[in-house]
Amino acid sequence: MRRLLILPAFTLAAAAALAAQGPLARADADALQVKIDRILAHGEAARPGALSTQVTEREVNAYLAYAMGDMLPTGVVQPSIQILGGGRVTGRAVVDLDAVREDRHPTSLLDPVNYLRGRVPVTATGIVTVKDGVGRFTFESAAAGTLPLPKILLQYVLSYYSRTRDDPDGLSLDDAVAMPAGIRSIAVEQGRAIIVQ
């Protein structure tokens, strides 16, 4: 559960292009786990001082590949993140859009959910800002395969996969996200992110 709480911070923090990295290694995922444990312990300390932790894109994507597999929702595979510079981040995953459509039960032929079909790579790009303990994602664009995906359809997909018993509506793209473990800010730079507690 604590891994799930810290994941948004690292998801917001990923950087640089996966293609330029070569194969991901288990050692990179293990290195990130050590950093996560240190961040969580620091967040629970009674009177912690400031702590700055550097996280690389390679570590985050290795962690997604090796450590998060059992925690990903059914129908979501191959997640990765990339930063394009200037705070712009792209997230990618292969998503089972049939599951989203069937669960949503479109109400009319004009409902945009009717157009969700198959398992396709879904990407979303936007601007990430983490300041004063709050993270925000400003949506820019999304695509399902090669087709542009309107924000409303991406919102359906996000809502479907992020809902819980306590939050049956799931996350909203426009929601501010409180950072866990006393994280105050994340400076996202090319190839890395610096997490400040």
Hey, what are 82's tokens? 């990339």
Task: Say what the pTM is.
Answer: 0.76
Cα 140 from Cα 118, distance rounded (Å): 24
Cα 140 from Cα 153, distance rounded (Å): 14
Task: Estimate to the nearest angstrom the gap between the alpha carbon of 192 and the chain centroid.
Answer: 15
Tell which residue, 49, 19, 53, has the closest CA to residue 36: 53
Q: Structural domain of residue 136, as residue ranges? A: 2-196
Cα 107 from Cα 153, distance rounded (Å): 15
State pLDDT tens for residues 132-146: 999 999 999 999 889
For the chain, how many structural domains are there in total?
1
Cα 32 from Cα 35, distance rounded (Å): 5
State pLDDT tens for residues 5-48: 454 555 544 433 334 456 889 999 999 999 999 999 999 998 88
How sure is the predictor about 2, in pLDDT bands with cuts at 50, 70 and 90? very low
State pLDDT tens for residues 69-97: 888 887 888 999 997 778 888 999 998 87
How sure is the predictor about 3, in pLDDT bands with cuts at 50, 70 and 90? very low
Higher model confidence: residue 1 or residue 33? 33
